């Protein structure tokens, strides 16, 4: 069964369609957006091998011609060289302003292609077909697009909303367990930040969902997208509330920088550890009881996920070094670090009022357990 979450952003409104068999049904879903029956698809080599033939065949069957660019897989693609290659390829293929570009892939492809669409001829429309759990529940929705700079992640980009998102639950079957669980870190984040009932549902259903139950996966994606859509509609360009979506991310970004954005720590793994640290810090600050961080960590552990600093292989900087890396976060305003803390599960809020020594203590304790 297919479910639709509408993102009501006025003239930039769009649907996120969630369900099984959406690649096979792509022509019917995309056709209403087209002025002429052709699309340009940008993907990566790994996703292309798994899903591009099925997508192109489905489009052809629906009378839509397509051409595809396959970029190298991996985070290094999300930078100027592959970005300019993509923009020039789209121009060579005479993609016009009223055409549609399809981003078929995970977060790297979605962010890069969205940004290419944002600047091509001053803006063409694009469709996200996210193929990772992380992209389905987070990066494909909400219009953040961009690439990395040598100075940091996602520092070059723009807000450019997609015209449609197709989250095909079936494609999640091709993910490795590690990639799936990394995406699950973002799913847990939604329960923790604003929906205690959803977190309890995840505690009960997470293991079966990870084992492959499609209806549970579809519900988790839908609830995550609903929550993201609500927040994005309130604060599209992150002037306030949208920062809630960054629960766990201030810690995560420091840990990703400390591990060189390498295989040592995937983004979603860093988010999960970051959420556990944010709850620990909240409890130390007397904002919630000690049971709350324990419950968060218990669920992550039950799912077989990285939960603590001790779960990150290799060396890490000391607590002061990690705090320094947190200072590079995009949430820094006028030199003050903003944290997403919580009064309890499902009750997160944004604050700048966090004593440095308390953050250092939480980090030092986590590092001492390594």
Q: Which residues bind ligand GLY (CB under 6 A)?
A: 138, 142, 144, 242, 245-246
Question: Shortest gap between Cβ of 136 and ligand GLY (angstroms)?
Answer: 13
Instruction: Give 355's Cβ-side CA count (13 Å radius).
Output: 7
d(CA 28, CA 51): 18
Supply φ then ψ for residue 14, to 5 degrees.
-160, 170
Positions marked catalytic:
122, 144, 186, 228, 238, 242, 246, 249, 253, 267
Which burial class, exposed, middle or buried, applies to 356 when counting CB atoms under 10 A from its CB (0-12, 13-18, 19+)? exposed
Closest by CA to 124, choosing from 92, 101, 142, is 101
Residue 24 near residue 171 (C-beta atoms within 8 A): no
Using the minimum distance from each CB to ligand GLY, give the nearer residue, 162 or 366.
162
Place of tokens 């293991």: 207
- Count Cβ atoms below 10 Å from residue 291 Cβ, excluding itself: 12
Question: Shortest gap between Cβ of 26 and ligand GLY (angstroms)?
Answer: 24
Question: Shortest gap between Cβ of 212 and ligand GLY (angstroms)?
Answer: 26
Using the minimum distance from each CB to ligand GLY, give the nearer residue, 39 or 245.
245
Closest residue to ligand GLY, judged by C-beta, is: 245
Question: Shortest gap between Cβ of 366 and ligand GLY (angstroms)?
Answer: 24
Dihedral through CA 38, CA 73, CA 46, CA 229, nearest 10?
-60
- Count Cβ atoms below 10 Å from residue 32 Cβ, excluding itself: 8
d(CA 192, CA 232): 17
Using the minimum distance from each CB to ligand GLY, give the nearer residue, 246 or 307.
246
Using the minimum distance from each CB to ligand GLY, give the nearer residue, 138 or 280.
138
Question: Shortest gap between Cβ of 57 and ligand GLY (angstroms)?
Answer: 32
Using the minimum distance from each CB to ligand GLY, give the nearer residue, 129 or 316.
129
């Amino acid at each position: 069964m297919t479910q639709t979450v509408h993102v009501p952003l006025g003239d930039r409104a769009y649907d996120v369609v969630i369900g099984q068999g959406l690649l096979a049904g792509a022509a019917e879903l995309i056709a209403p957006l087209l002025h002429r029956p052709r699309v340009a698809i940008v993907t990566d080599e790994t996703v292309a091998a798994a899903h591009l033939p099925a997508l192109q065949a489905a489009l052809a069957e629906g009378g839509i011609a397509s051409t595809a660019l396959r970029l190298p897989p991996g985070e290094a693609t999300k930078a100027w060289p592959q970005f300019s290659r993509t923009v020039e390829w789209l121009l060579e293929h005479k993609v016009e302003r009223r055409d549609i570009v399809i981003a078929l892939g995970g977060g790297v492809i979605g962010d890069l292609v969205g940004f290419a669409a944002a600047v091509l001829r001053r803006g063409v429309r694009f469709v996200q077909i996210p193929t990772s759990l992380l992209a389905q529940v987070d990066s494909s929705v909400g219009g953040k697009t961009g690439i990395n700079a040598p100075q940091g992640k996602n520092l070059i980009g723009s807000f450019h909303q997609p015209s449609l998102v197709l989250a095909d639950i079936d494609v999640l079957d091709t993910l490795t367990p590690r990639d799936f669980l990394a995406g699950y870190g973002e799913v847990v984040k939604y329960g923790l930040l604003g929906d205690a009932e959803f977190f309890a549902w995840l505690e009960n259903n997470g293991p079966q969902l990870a084992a492959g139950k499609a209806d549970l996966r579809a519900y988790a994606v839908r609830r995550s997208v609903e929550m993201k859509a609500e927040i994005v509609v309130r604060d599209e360009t992150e002037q306030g509330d949208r920062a809630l979506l960054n629960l766990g991310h201030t810690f995560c970004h420091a840990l990703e920088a400390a591990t060189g954005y390498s295989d040592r720590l995937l983004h979603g793994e860093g988010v999960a550890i970051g959420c556990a640290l944010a709850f620990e810090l909240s409890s130390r600050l007397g904002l919630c009881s000690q049971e709350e961080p324990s419950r968060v960590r218990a669920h992550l552990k039950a799912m077989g996920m990285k939960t603590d600093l001790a779960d990150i292989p290799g060396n890490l900087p000391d607590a002061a070094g990690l705090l320094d890396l947190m200072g590079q976060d995009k949430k820094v305003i006028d030199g003050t670090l903003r944290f997403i803390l919580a009064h309890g599960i499902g009750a997160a809020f944004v604050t700048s009022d966090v004593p440095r020594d308390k953050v250092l203590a939480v980090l030092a304790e986590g590092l001492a357990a390594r």
